[in-house]
Amino acid sequence: MNILTRSSSKSDLLTHLAITVFLTTLLALGISYPFMTGDYDRLALPLSTMIQVFGLVGLLLVPVGLLWLTLPKYHFGFAVTSILVSTLVILVIALFATLSVGKAFGLLVILLWIFIVVIWLPKAKPFKAQPAKKFCFLPLYLIYLPAVTLFLQLTLAKPLTERSRDHAIDQANRFIRDIEEYQKQRGAYPLTLQAQNKDYSPDVVGVEKYWYAPHKNGYNLSFEQPRFLLDRFGTREWVVYNPLDENSVYSHTAWLLPTGQEEASQGWYASGDTGHKHWKYFLFD
């Protein structure tokens, strides 16, 4: 009997270890997705942000998990508490889903959670009769998953942001060469390069396209760089190329019109060099 019990315990441990590795990999890929090379995906950044929100707000689950491990005789009570706290976490995630994509996406997140709760809630009833001595793995997930998600975004933020920014800048070289060739042949830079199909791709999943606009005697070629949630919370970053180092980007269309708004007040609160010639970044709140 002891041999069977040990075998069962070892099997459970290996199963949960495999689940943990799978979930960790899934979270890491989800967070990193907008910063990977590939075609643009409009859901990449919202999904990454939602996972990052879980890593922050989901820390509310950690005390529940710790208390559950400390007081195992209250299995059922902590199971119900974890559902209630998780619902609060999901509501915050749904809010970010609404703000980043739209109301329909936020509602979809809530409906998906309701479906999960309806399926899982009946399975919580056996916790009432579960002996206190029997080890439960669920509180470990409550502790581990939010903590590792927060750890991942804090450690991946800088290298992934820099790598994706550098890649999008490198991808723009052909676009810049063609613009300069146009200037040599025509004696002036194009007035516009707006078209239905983008022939020059940043090749970063979270970067939609390059934006071209004439500026004084030169031009600005820009793209919006995806950012991590906790990397200056609420900040949007635009990366801009200007062959004359007169880089600029504006937060309001009206500021480009003769409305009396001075050019010095463009909306960004910080700027800096990217490490690439003629390229600068601008941060907006």
For residue 277, the one-letter residue type is K
Q: For 150-169, what is the mean pLDDT?
A: 97
Q: Where are the domains of the chain?
A: 2-156, 166-284
pLDDT at 263 over 80: no
Stronger pLDDT, 10 or 95, i.e. the higher one = 95
Stronger pLDDT, 134 or 150, i.e. the higher one = 150
Q: For 100-112, what is the mean pLDDT?
A: 95
Average pLDDT value over all residues in the chain: 90
Q: For 128-157, what is the mean pLDDT?
A: 86
pLDDT at 4 over 50: no
Q: For 11-34, what is the mean pLDDT?
A: 93
Q: Which secondary-structure segment (H or E) carries 282?
A: strand 279-284
pLDDT at 5 over 60: no
pLDDT at 265: 57
Query: In degrees rounded to 5, what are phi and psi of residue 257?
Result: -105, 165
Which segments of 101-202 does DSSP mark as H helices, in order? 103-120, 138-171, 173-186
Q: How many CA atoms lie within 13 A of 175 on its CB side?
A: 24
pLDDT more than 70, % of the chain = 91
Query: In degrees rounded to 5, what are phi and psi of residue 284?
Result: -115, 145
pLDDT more than 90, % of the chain = 72
Q: For 127-152, what is the mean pLDDT?
A: 83
pLDDT at 157 over 50: yes
3-class DSSP state of 147 = helix
pLDDT at 145: 97
- Token pair belonging to 54: 């879980």
Contacts of 279 (CB under 8 A, 6+ apart): 169, 239, 240, 241, 247, 273
Say how far apart CA 226 and CA 235 lie, in whole Å. 10
**pLDDT tens digit sequence for 223-237:** 999 999 999 898 999
Q: For 133-150, what is the mean pLDDT?
A: 89
Q: For 104-113, what is the mean pLDDT?
A: 96
Strand pairing partners for 175? none
pLDDT at 252: 80
Helices 44-57 and 75-100 cross at an angle (nearest 10°) of: 140
**pLDDT tens digit sequence for 169-218:** 999 999 999 999 999 999 999 999 988 888 999 999 999 999 999 998 99
- Token pair belonging to 44: 């990449």
Helices 2-32 and 138-171 cross at an angle (nearest 10°) of: 30
Question: 243, 228 in Cβ contact below 8 A?
Answer: no
Stronger pLDDT, 165 or 137, i.e. the higher one = 165
pLDDT at 281 over 60: yes
Say how far apart CA 74 and CA 71 lie, in whole Å. 6
Query: In degrees rounded to 5, what are phi and psi of residue 204?
Result: -130, 130
pLDDT at 3: 42
